[in-house]
C-alpha cells in the first residue's frame, strides 16, 4: 500500500494539468482510494467547470461506486463550501458518504476559509490537513498571495548578457536570449494574468506582449506611460489582447485600451498592485525595462525572479537590475542560455525542490 504522501503527490501532479486554464481559481487535483487502490481521480480542468473532487467522483467506474463510502479522498485544496459557478464540493462529498478526506492546503478564499472543513466534519467525515503543504503552497502561490497578501503575485523576468548588461544604450531592439528561451517566455505569458513593461521598453522594442509562440490565453497587457507619449500605432495596442495604460493624465477607455490614472509618486509599484488587486488580477510578470524592474525590487514588491543569462557579452550598455534579498532556487541550462530562478527571502511561498515553475 502506498503512503499518504504518494497519493497527495499524485493530486499535485494532476492539479498541475490545469495551469493556465483555471485562473482565477486555484489548480486542484483529487484522488479517491479504496484499500490501497485508486478508484477515481480528477482535476479542475477549466475555469467555470467542475472542480477536481467532482471530476474524481465522476471518474469512478460503475462497479466501484459502491466502494465510495469506504474510500479516502486525497485533495490538494480544501473542498469549496459555497455556490459559485458550481455547487459546493464539500456538500457533494458528504452526500456521497466518503469516509475520510486528506487535504494538502486550507483554502484562504473568504467564501471557503475553513467552511469546507466544517461541512465535512459536521457530515461525519474524518479530515486530515497539511499533507505536503509546502508543495501545495508553491503550486498555488499566485492564488494564496492574492488572497492572503491581497495583491497580485509578482514575477520579475529579464534577459542579460554574461557580463551583466540588460541592453545596449539607445532605443533600439536587441535580442539576447535564444529561440528556446523565447518560446519558454511565451509559455510563461499564458500562465499569468498580466504582463507589464515601462515606457522606454515599449518605445525601444515595440513588443506585442502576447503569447504567439505557445497556445493558451493571452495576458492582460500593462504599460507605464505617465504623460501619454506612446503612439497608438505600437503593437501592444493592437486587438490581440486588452491593454491598460497607467498614466497621470486621464481615466478613459478606447476600444480594447483602458487608461488608468494614478499618482506617480514613490509608491507607484504598490499603487499599481492595488489597482490590479481590485480588478481581480492574480499575477503579473514584469518584463522590463530596467527602471521598472528596479522600482519593484527597491520596494521589495516581488516574489520570484526569472533571469535568463545569454552566453554573449556587450562592451557597454544598460546594467541589468540588481536583485537584492533574493535566494537562488536553481539554475537550468536552456541550450546556450542559463535560466536562474530567485525567490524573495521574505516570501511566504518558498520554492520546493522538484516542483515546476
**pLDDT tens digits for range 129-162:** 999 999 999 999 999 999 999 999 999 999 999 9
Residues 19-42 have pLDDT tens digits of 999 999 999 999 999 999 999 999
Model confidence pLDDT, tens digit, residues 175-209: 899 999 999 999 999 999 999 999 999 999 999 99
Q: Which residues, 6+ apart, have CB-to-CB distance to 128 below 8 Å?
A: 4, 100, 101, 102, 103
Domains annotated for the chain, with CATH where assigned, are 4-144 (3.40.140.10), 150-344 (3.40.430.10)
Mean pLDDT of all residues in 241-266: 98
Closest CA to 15 of 29, 26, 31: 29
Q: What are the grid coordinates assigned to 173, written together? A: 531592439
The conformation of residue 258, written as its DSSP 8-state character, comes to E
Report the number of secondary-structure helices (H) and strands (E) in the chain. Answer: 10, 17
* Residues annotated as catalytic (active site), given as ranges: 53
CA distance 313 to 308: 13
| CB-facing half-sphere around the CA of 293: CA atoms within 13 A | 25
How does pLDDT run across 91-130, given as a tens digit for each residue? Answer: 999 999 999 999 999 999 999 999 999 999 999 999 999 9
* Distance, CA of 13 to CA of 4 (rounded, Å): 14
236 falls in which pLDDT band (50, 70, 90)?
Answer: very high
Distance CA 284, CA 68 (A): 41
What is the per-residue pLDDT for 82? 84
Name the pLDDT band for 1 (thresholds 50, 70, 90): low
Average pLDDT value for the chain: 96
Task: Please state, in angstroms and rounded to a whole number, the distance separating the CA atoms of residues 274 and 152.
Answer: 8
Q: What pLDDT, on a 0 to 100 scale, did the predictor assign at position 174? A: 81
Distance separating alpha carbons of residues 128 and 116, to the nearest angstrom: 12
For the beta carbon of residue 128, count every other beta carbon within 10 angstroms.
Answer: 12
* Closest to 160 in 3D by CA, of 322, 310, 335: 310
**CA triple 283-271-324, angle to 5 deg:** 70
Count other C-beta atoms under 10 Å from residue 163's C-beta. Answer: 13
Amino acid at each position: 500500500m502506498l503512503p499518504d504522501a504518494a497519493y497527495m503527490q499524485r493530486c499535485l501532479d494532476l492539479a498541475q494539468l490545469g495551469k493556465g486554464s483555471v485562473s482565477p481559481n486555484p489548480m486542484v487535483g483529487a484522488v479517491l482510494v479504496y484499500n490501497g487502490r485508486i478508484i477515481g481521480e480528477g482535476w479542475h480542468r477549466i475555469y467555470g467547470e467542475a472542480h477536481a473532487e467532482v471530476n474524481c467522483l465522476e471518474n469512478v467506474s460503475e462497479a466501484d461506486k459502491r466502494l465510495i463510502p469506504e474510500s479516502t479522498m486525497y485533495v490538494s485544496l480544501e473542498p469549496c463550501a459555497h455556490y459559485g459557478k458550481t455547487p459546493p464540493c464539500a456538500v457533494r462529498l458528504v452526500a456521497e458518504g466518503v469516509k475520510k478526506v486528506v487535504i494538502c492546503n486550507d483554502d484562504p478564499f473568504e467564501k471557503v476559509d475553513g467552511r469546507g472543513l466544517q461541512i465535512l466534519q459536521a457530515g461525519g467525515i474524518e479530515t486530515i490537513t497539511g499533507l505536503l503543504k509546502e508543495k501545495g503552497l508553491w503550486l498555488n502561490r499566485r492564488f494564496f498571495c492574492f488572497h492572503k497578501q491581497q495583491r497580485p503575485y509578482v514575477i520579475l523576468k529579464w534577459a542579460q548578457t554574461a557580463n551583466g548588461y540588460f541592453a545596449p544604450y539607445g532605443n533600439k531592439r536587441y535580442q539576447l536570449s535564444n529561440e528556446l528561451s523565447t518560446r519558454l517566455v511565451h509559455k510563461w505569458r499564458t500562465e499569468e494574468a498580466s504582463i507589464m513593461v515601462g515606457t522606454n521598453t515599449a518605445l525601444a522594442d515595440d513588443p506585442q506582449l502576447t503569447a504567439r509562440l505557445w497556445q493558451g490565453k493571452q495576458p492582460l497587457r500593462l504599460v507605464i506611460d505617465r504623460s501619454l507619449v506612446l503612439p497608438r500605432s505600437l503593437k501592444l495596442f493592437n486587438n490581440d489582447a486588452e491593454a491598460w495604460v497607467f498614466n497621470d493624465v486621464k481615466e478613459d477607455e478606447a476600444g480594447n485600451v483602458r487608461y488608468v490614472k494614478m499618482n506617480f509618486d514613490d509608491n507607484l509599484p504598490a499603487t499599481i498592485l492595488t489597482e490590479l488587486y481590485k480588478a481581480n488580477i492574480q499575477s503579473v510578470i514584469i518584463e522590463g525595462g530596467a527602471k521598472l524592474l528596479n522600482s519593484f525590487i527597491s520596494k521589495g514588491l516581488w516574489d520570484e525572479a526569472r533571469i535568463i543569462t545569454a552566453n554573449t557579452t556587450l562592451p557597454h550598455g544598460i546594467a541589468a537590475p540588481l536583485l537584492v534579498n533574493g535566494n537562488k532556487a536553481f539554475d537550468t541550462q536552456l541550450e546556450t542560455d542559463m535560466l536562474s530562478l530567485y525567490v524573495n527571502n521574505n516570501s511566504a511561498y518558498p520554492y520546493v525542490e522538484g516542483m515546476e515553475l
